[in-house]
Amino acid sequence: MKLKAYAKLNLSLAITGTRPDGMHELDMLMQSISLADELTIRPAERTVLRCGGMAADESNTALRAARLFFEAAGRKGGAEITLKKHIPAQAGLGGGSSDAGAVLSALNRLYGMPLSMETMTALAVRIGADVPFFLHGGCMRAQGIGERLAPVQNECKFSYLLVKPEGGVPTGPAYAKYHELPAIMPDVGKAAKALARGDRAAYFAAAGNSLLPAGKALCPQVGAILREMKAYGADFSMMTGSGSCVFAVFSDAEKEAKAFAAFAERYPFCARAADTDRASMEETE
């Protein structure tokens, strides 16, 4: 089975509290986008993951997803997984989480659907807060630690310019830094209603990212890119997740093209993307 595992953007992200176990309570708008990793998965006698031609270690989320699947399903055997990365790491684009969600979904199909969605979601939470979203995709409001999901109609139909500087932002340090800095609390409910109405201006006014101050502190280029996006005429720009990728929305195609050309010359990752309605997609041979 060949499939694409799509990245995500956080169209808004609020940290609403901290649980006794140290995990953060979140309220997020998450949107699948067309940027994707490529996976090939085949049944095998044992589970092995190769990424860039090299065997991956046990910390890889796709490999962890496969191990958890076979443990929960009580199945012998395994899977041979080949992963081709296009989603940059430490970007806030959910690349590792997307790979994990795609592996869980694909293995469940390949082995006759032995696991319910409830069980799959429980496994996904064990891998990471974003992973439950990647069992569904589209546009969702994710609350709790990411496991409480509700579909959101996104009628804004954005296209995005994505720019990631060389530096990344690891998730753990970003959340630790968050507690040292003044808080940003976006109105996620208002942003969700604006998306459903297709009201771009209202979405831009309501959206935000509680982790932005931490991202800028840990990777100063994030702030520089945001300022440059504004200078190039973006209607809106924001850091996604814990960063360091910044996305921007333009209403003027010519301004977007100029910005893309300029950023592509100076930053290691620059891409265009659009909304998708799924987390992964099987490709025909």
Binding residues for ATP: 88-98
Instruction: Find, among 31, 13, 11, the residue nearest to 143 by Cα.
Output: 13
Respond yes or no: is residue 130 known to be catalytic. yes
Catalytic residue among 37, 130, 216, 275: 130
Peptide bond into 244 cis (omega under 30): yes
Catalytic residue among 4, 8, 177, 216: 8
Q: What is d(CA 65, CA 181) in angstroms, rounded to the nearest whole number?
A: 34
* Binding-site sequence positions: 88-98
Residues forming beta bridges with residue 272, ordered by sequence position = 161
List, by residue number, the catalytic residues: 8, 130
